[in-house]
């Protein structure tokens, strides 16, 4: 399911998910769940990462709580994993905020700062002092020194030093967050500000200790399958790049795992492309200078929480998931719909969509196949009722949404001028703010915005490296027909 470059944190998360699924399939789920940290680190075992077996068990316990779908921040440390398992098995709805921080795993990294290393050569020119506009750099004892109280972290001194003697130490999670939603609490450990967080998951990917987790909805989905109700999977187009086999084989494998049926969300991407092309046509005709896409859930959260001035420029087109879920709901009015997603942000979107009940990411889907010994590549391929287009299947690639809108465009071919924001970071957010302030985008009139580098195939819960996923999605896309400009 994964390549040899997989991190140990990903391997640990997947192992716990697999053990949770197998525990759920036993006759005593609470007890089997309680034993997970002890089974993974039995008495007398060799300690791999921490100071002692007890510390490692504490971290594995916290990871298991997140795997059961609960916030670690609310844990009182006296509640047994068996009690959490019972609560998960009886839960009616998942918790609202998708991410949680494991304090026991968090390193409590020192604050981000610039510092002068031993490479300082005591040069006469002292460019570091000359470039600092805040008086934060002084010189004594034969070397430069930075006053952290005065330093504004502009980085000019680091750029000016000819010896590379000034370095920046970063807190990986804080450095990765594009909206400053994660910082340290009074005890020095990471905390997420839910009011700022856009669920982009960049902090999850950045933390080398795996201290930031998604709260899984695995048990919720498995329980509904076990109860015998109709549970239908909606597969994001990016799935073709990250799980083994073809989407047709995945459909068969999902049925073997207990799902009643599976649909490609790429079919909804066809509808979204046509709708967005029409939305753009109407806006340009009304005098608008540009419009942004609306399919990325993290970007939509960014606009809502941090860039309200950009809201008038965002397309009113619904996401491919919303269109697909609406169509599937008419066929399966009483079913539980589960979106299979490359990212965490879709969990926020689903909270506002009554047609979809749960989200599983690709890591969790892979864990289901492993736990149930389902070989996807050996499954016979199933067919899909609605064939999706080449452009729809390429939606998860950076630039794919813009190309789909261009393909659906019915006006003059050169009227659409795409501009692509390939990943949200502080620089791209500044650009988006500037577009809103100026009322125009110099680079084009259709601005595609994707939170993840590479598009959805670079999502924070994906399995394969970006390059490998891109090739697989592109190959699958080429097997389809081109997008038809108008509805049948």
- Hey, where are the domains in the chain? 8-105+174-216, 113-169, 229-478
Q: Which CATH class is domain 113-169?
A: alpha beta
Model confidence band, residue 6 (pLDDT cutoffs 50, 70, 90): low
The confidence score (pLDDT) of residue 52 equals: 84
Q: How far apart are CA 378 and CA 112, in angstroms?
A: 49
Greatest CA separation for the chain = 79
Q: Which helix (H) or strand (E) holds 214?
A: strand 212-214
Query: Mean pLDDT lowest for which of 21-25, 47-51, 195-199, 255-259?
Result: 47-51
Q: What is the pLDDT averaged over residues 27-40?
A: 96
Please state, for a pLDDT cut of 70, what percent of the chain lies above it: 98
Q: Which pLDDT tens digit goes with each residue over 251-283? A: 999 999 999 999 999 999 999 999 999 999 999
Angle between helices 218-226 and 362-371 (to 10 degrees): 50
Query: Mean pLDDT lowest for which of 95-104, 156-165, 375-384, 443-452?
Result: 95-104
Q: Do 472 and 444 meet the contact criterion of CB atoms below 8 Å apart?
A: no
Phi, psi (deg, nearest 5) at residue 203: -65, -35
Q: Do 197 and 181 meet the contact criterion of CB atoms below 8 Å apart?
A: yes
Whole-model pTM?
0.90
- Tokens 């921080």, residue? 101
Q: How far apart are CA 203 and CA 198, in angstroms?
A: 11
Q: How far apart are the first and last CA of the chain?
A: 38
Q: How far apart are CA 191 and CA 181, in angstroms?
A: 8
């Amino acid at each position: 399911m994964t390549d040899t470059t997989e991190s140990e944190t990903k391997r640990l998360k997947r192992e716990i998910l697999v053990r949770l699924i197998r525990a759920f399939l036993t006759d005593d789920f609470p007890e089997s769940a309680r034993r997970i940290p002890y089974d993974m680190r039995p008495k007398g075992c060799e300690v791999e990462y921490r100071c002692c077996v007890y510390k490692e068990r504490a971290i594995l316990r916290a990871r298991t709580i997140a795997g059961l779908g609960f916030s670690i921040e609310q844990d009182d440390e006296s509640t047994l994993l068996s009690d959490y398992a019972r609560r998960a098995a009886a839960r009616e709805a998942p918790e609202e905020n998708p991410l949680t921080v494991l304090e026991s795993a968090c390193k409590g990294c020192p604050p981000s700062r610039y510092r002068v290393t031993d490479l300082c050569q005591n040069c006469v020119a002292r460019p570091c002092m000359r470039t600092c506009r805040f008086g934060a750099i002084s010189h004594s004892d034969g070397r430069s020194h930075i006053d952290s109280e005065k330093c504004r972290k502009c980085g000019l001194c680091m750029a000016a030093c000819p010896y590379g003697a000034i370095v920046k130490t970063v807190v990986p999670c804080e450095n990765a967050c594009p909206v400053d939603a994660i910082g340290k609490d009074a005890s020095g450990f990471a905390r997420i500000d839910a009011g700022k967080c856009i669920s982009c998951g960049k902090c999850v990917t950045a933390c080398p200790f795996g201290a930031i987790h998604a709260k899984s909805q695995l048990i919720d989905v498995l329980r509904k399958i076990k109860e015998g109700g109709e549970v239908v999977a909606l597969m994001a187009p990016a799935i073709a790049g990250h799980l083994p086999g073809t989407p047709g084989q995945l459909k068969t494998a999902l049925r073997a795992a207990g799902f009643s049926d599976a649909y490609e969300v790429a079919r909804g991407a066809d509808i979204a492309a046509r709708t967005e092309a029409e939305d753009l046509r109407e806006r340009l005709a009304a005098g608008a200078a540009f419009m942004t896409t609306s399919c990325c859930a993290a970007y939509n959260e960014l606009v809502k929480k941090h860039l309200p001035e950009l809201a008038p420029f965002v397309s009113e087109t619904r996401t491919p998931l919303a269109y697909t879920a609406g169509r599937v709901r008419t066929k399966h009015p009483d079913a539980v719909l589960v979106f299979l997603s490359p990212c965490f942000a879709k969990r926020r979107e689903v909270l506002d969509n009554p047609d979809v009940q749960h989200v599983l990411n690709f890591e969790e889907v892979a864990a289901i196949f492993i736990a149930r010994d389902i070989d996807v590549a050996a499954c016979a391929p199933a067919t899909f009722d609605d064939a999706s287009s080449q452009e729809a299947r390429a939606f998860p690639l950076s630039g794919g949404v813009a190309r789909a809108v261009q393909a659906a465009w019915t006006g003059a071919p050169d009227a659409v001028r795409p501009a692509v924001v390939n990943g949200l970071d502080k620089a791209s957010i500044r650009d988006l703010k500037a577009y809103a302030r100026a009322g125009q985008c110099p680079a084009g009139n259709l601005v595609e915005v994707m939170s993840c580098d590479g598009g959805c195939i670079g999502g924070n819960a994906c399995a394969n490296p970006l390059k490998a996923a891109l090739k697989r999605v592109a190959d699958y896309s080429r097997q389809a027909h081109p997008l038809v400009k108008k509805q049948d």
